[in-house]
Structure 1
């Protein structure tokens, strides 16, 4: 789901006044816009619109970007352009915007004449345009850089990924199989407020739909999935054919429901599955592989966490659902794990991912096949979405390192020890004060800056701890 580059429109703004003063300026500056897009070819796929000089031009180009389902718009001032021509456009635009405060030449030299001044005068057009967006109350990002620099590509790339994530998030549908865990407070959210403010939509799927779906899965689809697992993972010989077939049938049925109903994220609650009375086991392994395929996931009916894992896929790749299990003060780290669900794409590369037989009393069902792996050591980031009531949301983010710690032989689920950059004591004090939830998404790498841009574009308060 996240292999494609962000698709970004380039809106180049100027005005007709300069056509009479400098013949050919439009063609020259249009070429400059294409050069900028070519320089950024590795961070996004760009659609470069023609230079816009009037309100009608700008609104026509923007409609084209929206109709093409692009992820965002990069605004480049080709010369000064009066903001009143784009003020209404930016008040109505639904795509994330980045204002590139750049100019063709990086340095003012003694050789400059009036033409050079005109070619490079984008800064005051950027001020006028930014002022229009501020007045309209529209969120936008700004990048002031030499457009040929690596820093420019890095910053635009970060914004483009955030734009892709926010745009996808606004159309996200989260399916909850059954219901959310009773009395679990930090996963609760006003669904109407979430939809209005941020875009994700939550709906509920009857467990009976999954039961019927399992019976519609053909035997060859089950056999194909099991053969793929045999080739990809170390499979526990204690797992019976019947156990694996039942797990595979559940996974195929879940994915078909997600696909058919347009869900890109989902949640299952063990009680909703266990109390139904028709299922033999929990779909834990299914959650791991579906996360690895790019679906968002949250346990226990946690639609917010499922939406966050989906956003983590879009923003930084390979979102991993997890929670803080216990603190380890000697190593200044936190044991991260969950009941059995985890994205095996974040596993250590020097150890096989195992599909194991394990006993689990939760749900009062038969043994669920479960993926067992340790999270890859190195930089990592945690992010938790907090509902503050009404349409107010906060993202709590912590950067740190996954430690290379000894194996915990009795732990039969995905795990790793996360050492916050600010230390366990300081991090957890701040996390709890901020209301950080107990379910979260982990991404490999330090991506707090990416989450900050995501929050700026989505209208979420950002809190790094």
Structure 2
């Protein structure tokens, strides 16, 4: 998909914690290396789901936890994925998870698919469920949000559930810390999207940036004719524009390019306008908004910032999110 008006999609970073038991390492030094292939194949599934993984290595003692904390904070991860290689005591990482207070995906999976052809070391290699039960109990008691994904990589249901869960967590992350542009003010009296912008900032880190209509006009005056022609030619290869007034079409493309430039400068992931504040010097830029939506931007009508915030995260899930009036659908 095209990601719209600002940049390539924001990288979604997740910290992965492969968990092991120090007792086993003391008995068989380096024993955790037998899980290298298991860890690698699991990481491949997560990367296919669109994640960038931050991996501190196998964790089984407090120094490893300290390393993971430093790395995760530095990389500004959005959530954590745990992978129990065997039983691992929950209190090894409980305080660390509480401190970061990030949502957690707990993978309840094993290297082997079934009990068939069991070898002597089968149970030692496939008892991570004990750690899963321990950890989920502690996370619940400490109020740390988590989701358990259970199954085996050979089962399509597991891979589908893992992909959907990872993408949902990533979408939730994309919702935060956006910048939404607004021209004018929200339509007076429309209560369904009435929200205090300060509350949005406090709760979700969302910034609302004012984009006066005059700025759109000024930016449009700086758009080169060659850029307008190039944009029109690109669109003519996909759409029939022959019945559109050439002058109105050029003006609309000019405003589109102006808004796109402003969005790039301000780092906008969405935009909204109230047509009542577009009074002279330009037509209401519905063409620009529609085209930017086609590129992945969020949009909301009448100064609806809340709806505009949904474009980026929902496009990660569907690649088809758009604003529409019910009577136009």
| TM-score clears 0.5 | yes
Report what 2:94 is aligned to: 87
CA distance in 2, matches of 1:157, 1:278: 48
Question: Which runs of at least 4 in structure 1 moved beyond 6 Å after TM superposition?
Answer: 2-5
- Distance in 1 between residues matched to 2:182 and 2:52, nearest whole Å: 36
Q: 1:306 to 1:58 in 2, by over 3 A?
A: same
The reply on whether 1:171 has 2:174 as its aligned counterpart is no
Tell me the secondary structure at the aligned position of residue 324 of structure 2.
Answer: strand
271, 293, 304: which one aligns with 2:295: 293
Structure-2 change in CA distance of 1:154 and 1:181 (3 Å): same
Task: Quote the Cα distance in structure 2 between the aligned partners of 1:269 and 1:45.
Answer: 36
- Alpha-carbon separation, structure 1, partners of 2:259 and 2:101: 32
Structure with the largest fraction of strand: 1
What is the correspondence of 1:234-273 to structure 2 with a 5 Å cutoff?
234-240=240-246, 242-273=247-278
SS in 2 for 1:235: coil
Q: Identify the residue that residue 419 of structure 1 maps to in structure 2.
A: none
Closer, same or farther: CA 175–243 of 1 in aligned 2, 3 Å: same
Any conservation in 1 of the 2:46–2:166 contact (CA below 8 Å)?
A: no
16-25 or 182-191: bigger deviation:
16-25
User: Aligned in 2, Cα 1:282/1:77: closer, same or farther, shift over 3 Å?
Assistant: same
Give the alignment of 1:19-418 within 5 angstroms.
19-39=25-45, 42-45=48-51, 47=53, 48-93=55-100, 95-108=102-115, 111-113=118-120, 115-240=121-246, 242-274=247-279, 277-279=280-282, 281-325=283-327, 337=328, 415=329
3-state SS, counterpart of residue 176 of structure 1: strand
* Deviation at residue 39 of structure 1 after TM alignment: 4.8
Per the TM alignment, residue 65 of structure 1 is displaced from its structure 2 partner at its CA by: 4.0
For residues 66 and 306 of structure 2, the distance between their equivalents in structure 1, rounded to whole angstroms, comes to 35
Q: Distance in 2 between matches of 1:93 and 1:148?
A: 32
> Structure 2: which 5+ residue stretches go unaligned?
none
RMSD: 2.4
The whole-number CA distance in structure 1 between the counterparts of 2:69 and 2:158 is 24
* Counterpart contact for 2:10–2:174, Cα < 8 Å: no
Does the 8 Å contact 1:40/1:153 carry over to 2?
Answer: no
State how many pairs are aligned: 322
Asked if the contact 2:174–2:312 (Cα under 8 Å) also holds between the matched residues in 1, the reply is: no
TM-score, normalisation: structure 2:
0.89
* Inter-CA distance 196–130: structure 2 relative to 1 (3 Å threshold): farther
Going from structure 1 to structure 2, the CA distance change for 1:73 and 1:181 (only over 3 Å counts) comes to: same
Deviations 1:5-47 (A, max 9, x none): 9554421011221023344421112332112223555333553
Partners in 2 of 1:255 and 1:110 — Cα distance? Answer: 60
Give the conservation status (yes or no) of the 8 Å contact 1:222–1:248: yes
Q: Contact 1:74–1:100 (CA<8 Å) still a contact in 2?
A: yes
- Structure 1 CA distance for aligned equivalents of residues 261 and 52 of structure 2: 33
Distance 1:155 1:207 in 2: 45
Q: 1:85 to 1:267 in 2, by over 3 A?
A: same
SS at match of 2:48: coil
CA-CA distance at 1:153 after TM superposition = 1.1
TM-score using structure 1 length: 0.64
Deviation at 1:161? 1.2
Q: In 2, are the aligned partners of 1:298 and 1:304 still within 8 Å (CA)?
A: yes
In structure 1, C-alpha distance between the alignment counterparts of 2:182 and 2:106, rounded to whole Å: 38
Whole-angstrom CA distance in 2 between matches of 1:239 and 1:92: 60
Where in structure 1 are there 5+ consecutive unaligned residues?
A: 326-336, 338-414, 416-465
Query: Residue 228 of structure 1 aligns to a residue in which SS?
Result: helix
Mapped to 2, the partners of 1:195 and 1:5 lie a distance apart of 21
Q: Partner of 1:320: helix, strand, or coil?
A: coil
Measured in 2, the distance between the counterparts of 1:196 and 1:259 equals: 24
